[in-house]
Amino acid sequence: MEGSSTIARKTWELENNILTVNTPDSASDNIFYYDDTSQSKFQQEKPWETDPHYFKRVKISALALLKMVVHARSGGTIEIMGLMQGKTDGDAIIVMDAFALPVEGTETRVNAQADAYEYMVEYSQTNKLAGRLENVVGWYHSHPGYGCWLSGIDVSTQRLNQQHQEPFLAVVIDPTRTVSAGKVEIGAFRTYSEGYKPPDEPVSEYQTIPLNKIEDFGGHCKQYYSLDITYFKSSLDSHFLDLLWNKYWVNIFSSSPLLGNGDYVAGQISDLAEKLEQAENHLAHSRFGGIVPLHRKKEDESQVLTKITRDSSKITVEQVHGLMSQVIKDVLFNSVRQSNKSPTDSLDSEPLITS
Amino acid sequence: MAPSSSSGLTFKLHPLVIVNISDHYTRVKTQLNPPASICSSGNASNNGEAVFQQNPRVYGCVIGVQRGRTVEIFNSFELLCEPLNHTLDRSFLEKKQELYKKVFPDFYILGWYSTGSDAEESDMHIHKALMDINESPVYVLLNPAINHAQKDLPVTIYESELHVIDGIPQLIFAHTSYTIETVEAERISVDHVAHLKPSDGGSAATQLAAHLTGTHSAIKMLNSRIRVLYQYLAAMQEGDIPCENSLLRQVSSLLRRLPAMESERFQDNFLMEYNDKLLITYLAMITNCSSTMNEMVDKFNTAYDRNTRRGGRTAFM
């Protein structure tokens, strides 16, 4: 039982060039050790002041990820925020733990209220007593349903933080897309200081932004850069997580990602329809334009259309995955009757769409 | 060995608690036994007793919700404990409780946790101390020893029961069963970290592979469990094992529950959902086709267009 599933996983990993991190043993648990002296030395050196692109990677612990995602999901459609604790390690920021802040999230808030500061100070103090020695090293908040990026307010907040509380990191989580897509939607960012022109960046991974947020996204997307995220866990953690999987497999059958996210999907589709309409209007206008070089116009249109196609493919793929699960469950649990009526003619709903 | 509890409460444990406790333990252990690369001269004095601190005991509080007969444990936090006289730092607990109340107003203190292999007598002191916050606290014990042969989670939940032993009413620990409860988001992040899946989307093929692999392993598990039952029943039929009627009843009721859903309405809803998804696929394909068509027309125009003002683009031959 365990054997063939591991074989299947290994084959898949091989085919997809997954770099497996070595299973953590107690030696790699060293990451959990907090060395005060080297941390304060690093703080004094401040290598990030000379190089705005200094920090390139983020390592998030299993615990921090779990806490952040659960907190984000519990907020529903309200944005939540919290702080992360950790340390630095060369050009990587390590996030060991996260905790929630008692603030109501609204996008118009720049700073957390005084309440939250008090909370933060008290929490950090009690944590230090209880053996969590790390400092606050960043903040996280959620964008339920509209992707992982920094809005204008977020950019100014992060800029402020990076002036006074270095080293500091901003993390954004999208719990709705996490559940809908079946994988964790998370992004880590650091802002550039005002006026700094970044060298041409490689195009970041494309993500769908709903129409009403697209201006905010576009207006600020050049003012920050995203960092690579990797995860780590202790040997004990991985032991437990493996055992947990033994209890978890039931959930694959008992829950359906389609049911919980009906609103979100409907929103996505209507957003897509709006975008299409906008593109069409744009096209109609340009027909009377004329003077503007035709080639550029065509490029814009085709770009827009390509984006729309990609979005629609993404939505469809998720839906089809959900449908596949439903069909499999139906076959497993319902087709006991030997009747000629087969509820699933064929699993031909294979995504014919390639990205 | 502690007897089984009979209080009739059902316990649900969230994986976040387990990861929390494991992280707390790893932290304390690593901090006490610093890695060899860091020079030990500047370390705290209790390094001298590092020998017996190989498996430090950590203590903390578990919080959650109790609804009727169901106790759901959602989260946990660390506590300070005096190892000598086994008392908890009360003010610390209260402060922490206040902080957590602000962020999670629904959660109450349900009990406490500790690491170790078995419940000890001294644990009863702490348990009794907590009884003024919660009349019947739970005690979650996590065994941090990694034993790969063990397939079960080394987490036990104890309740306290009043038993009359030798004429004296005493509180003893009785262990209860529990289930692991999770929300979808939790499962996805646990899955993500457990199997270190690729964090970005990858191509549609990768996503499909990932999704189906997950389903495949779940089905494999189901299959193996059913096989175990089947072999057990076959052995019973042969006569190797004495017939156990209660088990037979359970198996029979399980079988009678299949097919899981048979009503007309279910079929209708299912087909409707199926058709909806097919419609979405169709629409997406149309969009894809029109986009490809658009590109093709553009390219055609660029290659064959003679009327552009830019002058002199001859048609390809």
Smallest Cβ–Cβ distance between A66 and the set B19, B278, B287 belongs to B19
Tens digits of residue pLDDT in A52-97: 777 888 888 888 888 888 888 888 888 888 888 888 877 888 888 8
* Segments of chain B scoring below 70 in pLDDT: 1-7, 34-55, 83-86, 147-151, 195-204, 306-317
Task: With CB atoms and an 8 Å threshold, state whether A130 touches B92.
Answer: yes
Q: How far is A198 from chain B (nearest CA, A)?
A: 24
CB contact under 8 A, B190 and A301: no
Rg, chain A, Cα only: 23
Q: Which residues in chain A touch residue B42, judged by CB atoms under 8 angstroms apart?
A: 37
Per DSSP, helices labelled H in chain B are 15-32, 90-103, 123-130, 184-195, 204-238, 245-256, 264-304
Residue pair A174/A142 in contact (Cβ under 8 Å)? The answer is: yes
Look up the ipTM and state it: 0.73
Find residue A188's DSSP bridge partners.
Answer: A171, A227
Q: What is the pLDDT of residue A260?
A: 67
Residues present in chain A in total? 355
Q: From B167, B160, B198, select the one nearest A16 (Cα to Cα).
A: B198
Spatial neighbors of A212 by CB under 8 A, at least 6 apart, are: none
Q: Per residue in A89-145, pLDDT tens?
A: 778 888 888 888 877 655 445 455 566 777 888 888 877 777 777 788 888 988 888
Instruction: Say how many CB pairs under 8 Å bridge A and B.
Output: 314
Phi and psi angles of residue B78, each rounded to the nearest 5 degrees, phi first: -85, 155
Q: Which residues of chain A lie closer than 8 angstroms to B17, CB-CB?
A: none
What pLDDT is stored for residue B282 in this prediction? Answer: 92
Both tokens assigned to B231 = 């072999």
* pLDDT at res. B59: 83
CA distance A323 to chain B (A): 7
A271 and A210 Cβ atoms separated by less than 8 Å: yes
Instruction: Report phi then psi at A253, rounded to 5.
Output: -90, -30
Inter-residue long-range contacts of B87-96, CB under 8 Å, 24+ positions, other chains counted: B87/B125, B87/B126, B87/B129, B88/B59, B88/B112, B88/B126, B88/B129, B88/B130, B90/B129, B92/A126, B92/A129, B92/A130, B93/B61, B95/A122, B95/A126, B96/A126, B96/B61
Q: Which residues in chain A (283-312) have CB-CB distances under 8 A to chain B?
A: 293-295, 298, 301-302, 305-306, 308-309, 312
A18 within 8 A of B204, measured Cβ to Cβ: no
How confident is the prediction along chain A (355 residues), in pLDDT tens digits per residue?
445 556 655 555 454 443 334 344 444 566 666 666 777 777 677 766 777 777 888 888 888 888 888 888 888 888 888 888 888 877 888 888 888 887 765 544 545 556 677 788 888 887 777 777 778 888 898 888 888 888 888 888 888 888 877 788 889 998 888 887 777 888 888 888 776 766 665 555 567 777 777 777 777 777 888 888 888 877 777 777 777 777 777 777 777 766 667 777 888 888 888 888 888 887 777 665 554 555 555 566 667 788 888 888 888 888 888 888 888 888 888 776 544 333 443 333 333 333 3
Read off the DSSP letter of residue B178.
E
Task: Please enumerate in sequence order all residues whose Cβ is within 8 A of that of B240, keeping only pairs 6 or more positions apart, or say none.
Answer: none
**CA–CA distance, A288 with A181 (Å, rounded to integer):** 41
For tokens 């699960």, name the residue: A325
Provide the terminal-to-terminal Cα distance of chain B, rounded to the nearest Å. 90
Q: CA–CA distance from A9 to each of B188, B215, B288 (Å)?
A: 17, 12, 32
**Which residues of chain B make contact with A89, given a CB cutoff of 8 A?**
none
- Strand ranges inside chain A, DSSP E: 57-61, 81-89, 92-100, 135-142, 169-173, 186-191, 224-232
- The residues, any chain, with a CB within 8 Å of residue A214's CB and separated by 6 or more, are none
Judging by beta carbons within 10 Å of its beta carbon (0-12, 13-18, 19+), is residue B257 exposed, middle or buried? exposed
Structure-token pair, residue B228? 């175990």
Closest Cβ opposite residue A102 in set B80, B103, B277: B103
pLDDT score, position A295: 55
Give the pLDDT of residue B199: 43
Rg (CA), chain B: 30
Residue that is written with structure tokens 């001859």 in the block: B314
Interface test with A, best of B13, B47, B143, B192 (most A CBs within 10 A): B192
Please indicate whether, in this complex, the C-beta atoms of B23 and A122 are within 8 angstroms of each other: no
Residue B3: DSSP 8-state:
P
CA A231 – CA A236 distance, rounded (Å): 15
User: Of the candidates A66, A298, A321, which has its C-beta nearest B16's C-beta?
Assistant: A66
Residues of B in contact with A85 (CB under 8 A): none
Task: Report how far residue A21's alpha carbon sits from residue A238's, in angstroms, rounded to the nearest whole number.
Answer: 12
Largest CA distance in chain A: 76
Cα angle value A34/A35/A40 (rounded, 5°): 115
Give start and end residues of each alpha helix (H) in A32-183.
36-45, 62-74, 114-129, 152-164, 175-181
